[in-house]
A and B are shown apart, each in its own frame.
Chain A
């Protein structure tokens, strides 16, 4: 393998809280950031629920890790692809999602959320070196 950064895509298709996959996927992303690869996240199907705003887990006594998505920008994880059709099917719009941002040298608070349609998502998937699904 060459020393060039590889393209890693984390595919999130499961809702949070009912199982541990979303939380443990996020842990991989945060650790993986130190490896300076070309990282993207994909949210489709029930995975879009992972980044819905207003999550409150006090009543189920589990860790509310949804705020951790806000830290992704600080880890230079800047490409969060969200599938439009998956939002539509679930009665969601981009306004229902958390504001997830990153800073660049020139500008602060740029949005990391990139809404794409299904065929664009398929193309993004087809351009990766490694796809990690949880």
Chain B
């Protein structure tokens, strides 16, 4: 357990900063998918390394919370460890790697495989909050496009993609439509995780520290990836591949290059361990697909 650092407020940032973030989080939840600007503070962790998610977590967290932090699905990756060290040292809360035990999960680039409950909050770190940035560099203009629901440019972009490549080229960070109103960047989660946002039981909060935006997807909210009638949204294909460690064939896999071969392991390391012990542990099942 890391020792608590002295001389700093509980959860590091001052109460004025927390209050502002809390007000903005409530507005974000009230207007699903809309990016609320906020006065992002500098933290001892670099901009672009999860400071938006971190500021949300620090504003949410209380002494009784149980926290899980992952990066690329893993609890042990250096960045996840670094953020954990910081929060532990400034709050003293319990840290877990068990997805089901956590009250708050902060994540970069993944949603855990197991189904999250309605008393949990998932905080996603966001590098680019603006889904329209790929077609329009200027903030003034993208803000107008959202205001007027003028989304023609991104539809044209996707259409031209299909014409040229017979496939949409966006890998992760696949744009979604939230509650039929706002196009939203789901953060760089793989497409595999995108259906998890739709009608979920959990509250998803998104924080972009460098770009100073907060947004949210409440539970039971319709979240649809942008797709065409004749060109459906498609998740990553792991057909014929299995995790080398737990033998799962239904999880998102990391591809690993070794000297003599190529192999795959689960990206969600905590889930992989559970499956390793008990192959019958359930992952999230997409009820909307059934």
Chains A and B belong together in one complex: no
Chain B interface (Cβ < 8 Å from any Cβ of A): none
Chain A interface (Cβ < 8 Å from any Cβ of B): none
